[in-house]
Amino acid sequence: MSGPGFFDIPSDLQNSYFGLVGLHIEEALIPVAIGLAVALPLGQLCVRFSWLYPPVLWITTVLYAIPSLAFFIFLIDYTGATRTTVVIPLTVYSLVLLVPAIVDGVRSVPQETMSAATAMGFGPVQRYLKVQLPIAVPAIIAGLRVAVASSISLVSVGALIGNQGALGNLLQDAILYHRSELALNSVVTTAALAVLLDIALVLLRMALTPWMPRGDRAARRAARTAAVEPAARPTLEDTAA
């Protein structure tokens, strides 16, 4: 006997398999994007006025502790069973992960680099855009990786407020139609999405930071080159030696 297949999506979801995948990515990434857009200025404010950082961290952490379901139930009175109701809590969660990443990243810029930039006539805005932000990229992307993974998994909870869970709705349909393969499909696809997006972020970081030592082997090679370089040019250090 042949029932419906692994990729046959029940019609109540009004979507194909790839439609669900697209929807899932959209619902996961929009909150991260908004979170990043808010976290960047907020993080910079926290760096500039360090007294601001503890209360910001405290408030966002408390918000993080609220279960997403509670968020949905609270918001549904205002925004209804819409995508907005899913996006708002996920944005808050992204914010919690991104603000510390950005603050730590910007703070990791060495003091002498900042002094040099100031002494060369960079204003505060230029210094932020041209020195602090590029150097904070690895830390920011590390934060984005966690935020994206958590967002991907949390979108599924949107199924609880109706047709807003994308791949998460497959879990409900699995119960509804006694089709366990739909649950497996949901879990495997969600995991695959998380892994692929993570790889994409790592590749993005490598593209943006050619200035970082690449792994152990590259770092060793770099150290060796640096050590050998003076000898290759006798007018350098060894003239005095």
Partner 1 sequence: MIQIESVTKRYPDGTTAVDNLSLDIPDGSITVLVGPSGCGKTTTLRMVNRMVEPTSGRILLDGSDITEQPVNALRRSMGYVIQNAGLFQHRTIVDNIATVPRMLGWDRRKARERARELMGRVGLDESLARRYPYQLSGGQQQRVGVARALAADPPVLLMDEPFSAVDPIVRKSLQAELLRIQQELGKTIVFVTHDIDEAIKIGDMIAVMRTGGRLAQFAPPDELLSSPADAFVEDFLGTDRGIRRLSFFTSDGLQLTAEPVVAVDADAEQVARATAAGSPYLLLTDAEGKPLGWVAPQDAAGGADKVAVGRLLPYGRPFAAGRESLRDALDCAVLSPTGWAVAVDGEGKVAGVVSQETIGAAIRSAHAEHRDGGGAGRASITKAGAAT
Under the binding rule (CB under 8 A), the answer on residue 146 touching partner 1 is: no
Strands in 13-165 per DSSP E: none
Q: Is 61 in the site for partner 1 (CB under 8 A)?
A: no
What's the angle, vertex CA 204, arms to CA 140 and CA 19, rounded to 5? 100
195 forms part of the interface with partner 1 (CB under 8 A):
no
DSSP 11: G
Among 49, 123, 178, 207, the residue binding partner 1 under the rule CB under 8 A is: 123
Rounded Cα–Cα distance for residues 159 and 177 (Å)? 16
Of 31-39, 78-86, 108-116, 179-187: span binding partner 1 (CB under 8 A): 108-116
Q: What is the DSSP string of 181-237?
A: HHHHHHHHHHHHHHHHHHHHHHHHHHHH-TTS--HHHHHHHHHHHHHHHHHHSTTSG
Number of residues engaging partner 1 in binding (CB under 8 A): 35
CA–CA separation, 240 and 228 (whole Å): 16
Work out whether 107 is an interface residue with partner 1 (CB under 8 A).
Answer: no
Q: Which of 3, 5, 110, 215 binds partner 1 (CB under 8 A)?
A: 110
16 binds partner 1 (CB under 8 A): no
Select from 7-15, 97-105, 181-189, 210-218 the region that touches partner 1 (CB under 8 A). Answer: 210-218
Between residues 129 and 196, which has the closer beta carbon with respect to partner 1?
129
Structure tokens at 96: 């919690």
Using CB under 8 A as the criterion, which residues of the chain lie in contact with partner 1 when the complex forms?
110, 112-113, 115-123, 131, 134-135, 137, 209-213, 222, 225-227, 229-230, 232-233, 235-237, 239-241
